[in-house]
Structure 1
């Protein structure tokens, strides 16, 4: 096959994958929706609500969630069209490879690698904050220099200049890595139990927190713009309309996870209809929950007071300040357990994207080598664990979440563009689910996601552009010539 950057993976290859599927088809639309909710609810709602309220939007954080949710809906509708056309296990990378072309697929895949890797790092830091909070409830304390990255520790009161390292984040990453190498297989009921636990914790926060809201904390709802000192010591403008928009970009991380639904296509009873339903339903349900939680949090706790430890466990901190230690215990325990499952999903997604790209010849065989006993891509899993553990231990959560948001926003913008191109290029292709008003939805999705990308932290933007640049170099120097399509 010609080495064109627009060459596509043949539909026959995907059809063979679907025909040879040996997984049990046991997931209906509500089970798939539960998986989506479980993937979405995680570090974003339990942690980033604090950083976004303090550093960006103040009480208007609820508006930030609405803006981010709208941007997500555009992408979800386009994503659903892809999922209905190619109900195969995988991600936007697999969809793009079979419909648009190799370079498009590569760019999306490279962006997904950034999303999942940085997402796992963010959740590791989030877990560290809640685990530390849980230890405090039992009277156990870990020195601050062993629960913070060097940058955050240096700006803390009482910092003595000693070596700083986020030990809990490091340990949990290697625990999750070990589980993934061993090949954990969670049954549907186990997954639903985790979803129920996390969802119940969020509903608990909304209902119980309502009784401790001080409406004075909501005034002014949209604070006047001012400079705010960040964890790395820099001063940046926050609040106002720009703060709402930058807050939406910062908390976009809270919405990633609905694409996890598509990885369950092989076990879906009716994937062409149920997967689009589950993607949209899980996103809608979580958006409502997020808006309510943000209103409760900023009503219970003044956004100016969400600093220090409150940034790592803001929801638990709010109930602590309200004098409700029993509620703190429930929230902290649920968050600590729930975040582990999110981290598992993130690192699992990371290695499976690597595996898919390696099977297509776009990455070295190292990333597709399966352990003879555990039947997992163990080498790439250990490599991912090594990188995630080091970066999570030494980097502030704000930078990590912004990097995750960049990867997500970029992938979403590409999906919207890809669906638009494919609709023009192949208008007669069978589409069990068609994005309504695509000529309006897709451009709005592209514009919204790109605009939110531009509002992310400048350091995160620089790192992300460097990452994408490296990806293009790798593709043209290695992947293009090694692609399996060269032999077709």
Structure 2
């Protein structure tokens, strides 16, 4: 048991972070890049994809409260991440922090869990991204066959001479008195748009971190401007048509249906657990610590700055969206496009869809960046095969790791429904936050003398609240999501027992020490 709890010395981790040469990651990111990486990941799925379905299924307009609850949890976890990222500026994020404080078995669990956060997260984003692509293509009268336009089982109906995504036109059918059951149906088989999107982003990441970050920074500027335009157009519409607010905001928190988690306060808490996915960008910033020019100064700025900016935008957009559209009609992958259509501003609708595509693209960049860097760190420690830490001699990126992650994520995005992806990502993220919060607390006790360029305030209250709030949101997620998490972790333990434990550099060193004694 003691071997399973063996920690990786912080001095060793810091030594690896200081390495230079063609086999190491290149330090090219400044504070602006890091804040943009955070915003790039945070402002994406939460606003453009999950806000609508979460309001429709769990909380109604009360999804605003869900954003606030999730943000509070993020503040506590974010402070813990900021302390770790400034102190241990390496690519592994929560995995490395767990290895340094709680031991190898916890490091493996969190590393395997981060696949849920980043890989499933990127797949979730791409699922929504493909919805906006299809919506934009329809504006130009281009429609793909249903079989390659949705994940398996996604229903399409033939209406007004075209195959339409059923969830996209449910409101229109209700307004015209058409029963969707009377229309011809076909179903998705493979989401080709999602597959292509992930692979395109993967190629950008293979080319280089600086190029990826510059691409992300441009896209972030565009999507923030687009969101401000959405708020302006939507706010102006609501000012002139206040009857929409009376109709769509009452009740602000719909009464519980009698089922736990479906509206009412339990629905708000369940929505917070699901919508929490929208905030994972700030911890994805920590995976780029080994590529930051001055991580001790800039990592806290990137993590906490992006979190504050995005929380304000989230709340404003959620208020406007649920004011424009009744929450019953928001269970679609392109809810902002539905919202802007209500304003009747044609150019606004086109602009929001373009912004959503760019925004979700930048989120995919950061999620895939995070996943490949975690695998890079696990491979360097011997817990995954060596090829995952192979660095391209020209681009200085973990190119095999990026390609492997890209293919797997593209397959996820093409075959798994959006709602299931989002819930799996949320529970994986929350588990990561719990371990990071615990790790900061443990390290403060064990190694109080270590230099900490940034110190999380209010110890031990901050990590305790990070643990408690994150665990509370996990408990409000559906039991099926818990079952999938348990199955996922069991599968990971098989890999650890039969491969990782035998190839772990820490375990090998421990064995050599025992043999030497």
TM > 0.5: yes
- Once the two structures are TM-superposed, the CA of residue 337 in structure 1 deviates from its matched residue by 2.2
* 1:312 and 2:358 are equivalent in the alignment: no
Shift of 1:402: 0.5
Which residue is 1:387 aligned to? 408
Counterpart Cα distance in 2 of 1:226 and 1:164: 33
Q: Quote the residue 1:104 is aligned against.
A: 106
Matched position secondary structure for 2:347: helix
Structure 1 stretches lacking a partner, 5+ long: 228-234
The answer to whether structure 1 residue 61 and structure 2 residue 63 are counterparts is: yes
1:456 aligned partner:
477
Residue in structure 2 matched with residue 231 of structure 1 by the alignment:
none
Does residue 1:27 correspond to 2:58, yes or no? no
Q: Deviations over 1:90-114 (max 9, x none)?
A: 3111222233321222121111112
- SS of residue matched to 1:318: helix
Consecutive unaligned residues of structure 2, counting only runs of 5 or more, are: 158-165, 167-179, 239-243, 510-517
Residue 226 of structure 2 corresponds to residue 201 of structure 1: yes
1:197-346 matches, within 5 Å, as: 197-213=222-238, 214-216=244-246, 217-226=248-257, 238-266=262-290, 268-307=292-331, 311-346=332-367
Please tell me whether the aligned partners of residues 150 and 394 of structure 1 are also in contact (alpha carbons under 8 angstroms): yes
Structure 1 residue 39, shift from structure 2 partner: 2.2
Larger Rg: 2
How far did residue 167 of structure 1 move?
2.0
User: CA separation in 2, counterparts of 1:136 and 1:366?
Assistant: 42
More displaced stretch, 48-57 vs 268-277: 268-277
CA distance in 2 between partners of 1:475 and 1:330 (Å): 47
Q: Given the two structures, how large is their TM-score scaled by the length of structure 2?
A: 0.86
Q: Is the 8 A contact 2:30 2:298 kept in 1?
A: no
The whole-number CA distance in structure 1 between the counterparts of 2:454 and 2:17 is: 18
- The Cα offsets for residues 118-148 of structure 1, whole Å up to 9 and x where unpaired, read as 0111011111100011111112122334322
- Equivalent-residue separation in structure 2 for 1:372 and 1:266 (angstroms): 17
Distance 1:151 1:188, change over 3 A: closer
Tell me which residue corresponds to 2:161.
Answer: none
Per the alignment, do residues 192 and 438 of structure 1 end up closer, same or farther by CA in structure 2, a change over 3 Å counting? Answer: same
- Distance of 2:55 and 2:233 partners within structure 1: 20
Distance in 1 (CA, whole Å) between partners of 2:338 and 2:118 is 28
Separation (CA, whole Å) in 2 of partners of 1:429 and 1:183: 33
CA contact (8 A) 2:261 2:268 kept: no
Asked whether the equivalents of residues 366 and 380 of structure 1 are also in contact (C-alpha less than 8 Å), the reply is yes
Q: How big is each residue's C-alpha offset from its partner over 1:275-312, in whole Å with a ceiling of 9 and x where there is no partner? A: 123211211111111011000000111111224xxx11
Distance 1:341 1:382 in 2: 17
Q: Deviations over 1:366-396 (max 9, x none)?
A: 4234556665444443432332222222221
Write the distance in 2 (CA, Å) between the matches of 1:243 and 1:152: 25
CA distance in 2, matches of 1:45, 1:292: 10
Aligned equivalent of 1:147, options 146, 149, 152: 149
Residues 37-76 of structure 1, C-alpha deviations (whole Å, 9 max, x = no match): 1221112210101111100110111100000001111111
CA RMSD for the aligned pairs? 2.4
| Alpha-carbon separation, structure 2, partners of 1:65 and 1:144 | 33
The answer as to 2:361 corresponding to 1:361 is no
Q: After the TM superposition, which of the residue ranges 329-338 and 470-479 deviates more from structure 2?
A: 470-479
Counterpart in the other structure of 1:232: none
| Contact 2:277 2:429 (8 Å CA) reproduced | yes
* 2:9 aligned residue: 10
CA contact (8 A) 1:3 1:481 kept: no
C-alpha contact 1:3 1:480 (8 A) present in aligned 2? no
Superposed, which structure 2 residues align to 1:175-190 within 5 Å? 175-183=200-208, 185-186=210-211, 189-190=214-215
> 1:273 deviation in Å?
3.1
What displacement does 1:462 show? Answer: 1.3
Contact 2:146/2:186 (8 A) holds in 1: no
Q: 1:89 to 1:386 in 2, by over 3 A?
A: closer
